[in-house]
Amino acid sequence: MNLLETKLPKVGTTIFTIMSQLAEQHQAINLSQGFPDFQPPARLVELVSRHLAAGRNQYAPMIGAEPLREAIADKLRRIYDAHVDPVTDVTVTAGATEALFCAIHAVVRAGDEVIVLDPAYDSYEPAVELAGGRAVHVPLAPPGFAVDWDRLEAALCDRTRLVVINSPHNPTGALLGEEDLNRLAALLRPFGTYVLSDEVYEHIVFDGARHATVLAHPELAQRSFAVFSFGKTYHATGWKVGYTVAPRALTEELRKVHQYVCFSVVTPLQHALADFVRERPQHFQTLAGFYAQKRDVFVDLLRGSRFSVVPSRGTYFQLADYGAISKAPDTEFVRSLTQEHGVAAIPVSVFYAEPPSATLVRFCFAKENATLEAAAERLARV
């Protein structure tokens, strides 16, 4: 019998799974995978129970429950002055990862090129390859991880079907501003290229910054998929509920894929989220301050260690340079950090096609302050 030839020869078990398993094995504090160790808002959990008891336990509409799509459209109008049609432009998905996969498969064909900006979240390239496309990696410019516009312009060509952007950026916490979106729009004008904008940490921006969404940009909104996550916003990553917003023609193609990947998302969760978005709109406004406090606690605690940190500008991730501690590759360093010192982190090199010679790891600070304090105490001894 012939051995199966893999369709994803470069893909193994994701680093997030590896490090979480290693953390569990060694009873380490898990600051690797990006999930909170605290619960969603109590009222939201109450609403889920209410809709379960009310009998909302059968299939939701494929495109998403109407009350949730309407609540999403209202939120986008209220926060970003972005006017989208809840019927033709909004699709509820099984988390952001499904949304990203469906958006890529909606437009990428065999032989197409997709530009990704390294360090890039690890789900982008496998979806591109499964669609028959080729990922073209353009590194962000250190130390601030800004877009290298000259290199991006050089990478664009008639084969470029899609450009993937991510702001606030995982893993670096960097932000794209309105001027960045203007420059991207100008570069794309000669091309029939689409944009996939990963905006799952939209509300977690710090130090007075404001999230810049493609949906509020007149040019980019016409050629973009924007992807969002309720899991990140409501501390409920295990619920796997997200959504995609795109103009009608792009949404129609995305839904063709979505209906055969997932079809529909958990019904009582959708209705509970719809209620909560309308009941507690202030939650969005409090999220940045909530996580800024955790960032500041963690950064201040790390000042007593040999790690070097520049406070993250967004997301709930913090990069740390361990160069004063070790010159080992980051993949080796995080293993020893977990096994010998009891704290799990993510090596940044795994987000690159061609990793630079850097000594950076990523910590997740979406944790109770007591967890951060215990982790920092261990890190100070490294």
Question: If DSSP states are collapsed to H, E and C, what string results for 80-115?
Answer: HCCCCCCCCCEEEECHHHHHHHHHHHHHCCCCCEEE
pTM (2 decimals)?
Answer: 0.96
Write the single-letter amino acid at 88: T
Q: How far is CA 55 from CA 58, 64, 264, in A?
A: 8, 17, 17
Q: Give pLDDT < 70 ranges for the chain.
A: 1-2
- Answer for the pair 76, 216: CB distance below 8 angstroms, yes or no: no
Bond preceding residue 171 cis, omega within 30 of 0: yes
Residue 99: Cβ within 10 Å count: 30
The pair of three-digit structure tokens given for residue 352, joined into one six-digit string:
């690159």
Summarised one tens digit per residue, pLDDT across range 304-314 is: 899 999 999 99
CATH number for the domain whose boundaries are 15-40+283-379: 3.90.1150.10
d(CA 331, CA 314): 24
pLDDT digits (tens, 9 = 90+) for 322-346: 999 999 999 999 999 999 999 999 9
149 contacts 181 by C-beta, under 8 angstroms: no
Burial class (CB in 10 A: 0-12, 13-18, 19+), 310: middle
CATH placement of domain 43-279: 3.40.640.10
Which residue intervals of the chain bear CATH 3.40.640.10? 43-279
Query: What residues form DSSP beta bridges with 166?
Result: 198
Round to whole Å and give the CA distance between 159 and 104: 15
For residue 331, how far is the Cα from the chain centroid?
21
Q: CA separation (Å) from 242 to 201, 230, 233, 381?
A: 12, 5, 10, 39
> Which pLDDT does position 2 carry in this prediction?
61
Q: What does the alpha-carbon distance between residue 126 and residue 133 come to, in Å, rounded to a whole number?
A: 10
Residue 119, preceding peptide bond in cis (omega within 30° of 0) = yes
Say if residues 44 and 276 touch (Cβ distance below 8 Å).
yes
> Tell me, what's the pLDDT at 4?
81
Per-residue three-class SS string for 145-213: CECCHHHHHHHCCCCEEEEEEECCCCCCCCCCCHHHHHHHHHHHCCCCCEEEEECCCCCCECCCCCCCC
pLDDT of residue 309: 97
> How is residue 141 annotated by DSSP?
B
CATH 3.90.1150.10 residue ranges of the chain are 15-40+283-379
Q: Cα separation of 354 and 367, whole Å?
A: 31
Identify the pLDDT of residue 359. 96
pLDDT, position 20:
92
Residue 142 pLDDT = 85
